[in-house]
Amino acid sequence: MPYNKELEAAKKAVSRAARLCQRVQEALLQSDVQSKSDKTPVTVADYGSQVLVSFVLQKELSSESFSMVAEEDSGDLRKEESSETLRRITELVNDTLATDGSESINALSQEDVLSFIDSGKSDGGSQGRHWVLDPIDGTKGFLRGGQYAIALGMLDEGKVVLGVLACPNLPITSVASNDYLTSLDKIGSLFFAQVGEGTYMQSLYGSQSSKVHVTGTENPEEASFFESFEAAHTMHDLTSLIAKKLGVKVPPVRIDSQAKYGALSRGDGAIYMRFPHKGYREKIWDHAAGCIVVTEAGGVVTDAAGHPLDFSKGKHLDVDTGIIVTNQKLMPALLKAVRESLQEKSSL
Ligand SMILES: Nc1ncnc2c1ncn2[C@@H]1O[C@H](COP(=O)(O)O)[C@@H](O)[C@H]1OP(=O)(O)O
Ligand SMILES: [Mg+2]
């Protein structure tokens, strides 16, 4: 398995980052209403997560040719007014590493923290290897106490060759309906895949993993579909039209972040549709890990015109209109419903 070493390092990195995010989310949810409207916790967790992933990957693997395309950079943190935030991030990262206790490390300095953040400055591209990280995907879900993910992929010569998704609030049991919102199972799920080897899932801090597959259903009437919780992130009216044309009977299951890809990879639902509002450009870190987790589980990920996603063009994905995900059997019918719905909408 050509990427085994990288996959093990990636799993370790996202699991650590997930612990950090969980600590922040727990404190956030216990805090009063006023401090809940303060966005600092998510900022601290976002940067802290990126530092931990970057730190663990470089420690576990040879760091000479380390390249990472990540969502955050240290620009704002270097400003005078951010000194308290930087102090909090550094403390949180060091506390998380110390609690982990798996090895003795010297505490990271504030300068170390800034430089680990900045090692995510790469632009990616079609040559060589690049890590692709979203340190907290689904910040809105994180703030709401809902779903979020730490999403880490790796590109080799422009193709996603491995991906790991840590979903701290995604139950390891099915989330096939909106009942998941009241589920008491908060163990968290970890999905991982490398090219040609299938997709596996385990509980976030467990060690027993099992292979997962997308659903084999051919019948749209049995198919439930996932989409963004946030109406600002996708056109719910369009996806509802597509679902109706396809013959889907059940209401959409709305989940934040790439947890949708994870849930689909184990067959909780059959379809994921994402149609951002005009002008939004998709970033590679929002899809790299999720995409390989689904494709290695037997699913298909394309844009609205049926083209596979191209991760070799830098930080952005140039997708036609939207992103759709399902199994091989349902894809032709889904593409047809998408095409007809888009035509109908443009002729209004
Ligand atoms: N206007 C937007 N349209 C679509 N996606 C967005 C928009 N703004 C942010 N996002 C990103 O969409 C992803 C999550 O969407 P969802 O949870 O709906 O699937 C996140 O990566 C989020 O960024 P972020 O990672 O900063 O939260
Ligand atoms: Mg994101």
The CA 347 to ligand 2 mean position distance, Å, reads 32
134 is in an annotated binding site: yes
Q: Is the CB of 129 under 6 A from ligand 1?
A: no
Catalytic residue among 90, 139, 199, 234: 139
Q: From CA 305, how far away is CA 323, in angstroms rounded?
A: 9
For domain 4-206, which CATH number applies: 3.20.20.80, 2.40.50.180, 3.90.650.10, 3.30.540.10? 3.30.540.10
Q: Amino acid letter at 284?
A: I
Rounded to the nearest angstrom, the gap between the alpha carbon of residue 298 and the centroid of all alpha carbons in its chain is 18
Distance, in Å, from the CA atom of 38 to the CA atom of 25, rounded to the nearest integer, reads 13
232 lines ligand 1 (CB under 6 A): yes
- Judge whether 46 counts as a catalytic residue: yes
At 163 the pLDDT is 98
Decide: 276 in ligand 1 pocket, CB within 6 A. yes
pTM, two decimal places: 0.95
Q: Does the beta carbon of 144 lie inside 6 Å of ligand 1? A: no
Mean pLDDT per 10-residue interval, the chain, length 348 residues: 94 97 89 69 92 96 88 91 94 92 76 96 97 96 93 98 97 82 77 98 93 96 94 96 96 96 97 96 98 98 97 96 97 98 89
Q: Please report the pLDDT score of residue 141 as a whole number.
A: 93
Ligand having the closest approach to the CA of 139: 1
Q: Per-domain residue ranges for the chain?
A: 4-206, 220-346
Question: CB within 8 A of 163, min separation 6: which ones?
Answer: 151, 152, 153, 154, 191, 192, 193, 288, 289, 290, 291, 292, 293
| Residues 114, 151: Cα–Cα separation, whole Å | 20
Instruction: Please report the atom of ligand 1 found closest to the CA of residue 274.
Output: 19
Describe the crossing of helices 83-100 and 40-60 by its angle, rounded to 10 degrees. Answer: 50
Q: Is 185 a catalytic residue?
A: no
Question: What CATH number matches the domain at 220-346, 3.90.1580.10, 3.20.20.70, 1.20.1280.50, 3.40.190.80?
Answer: 3.40.190.80
ipTM for the complex shown: 0.93
Is 179 annotated in a binding site? The answer is no
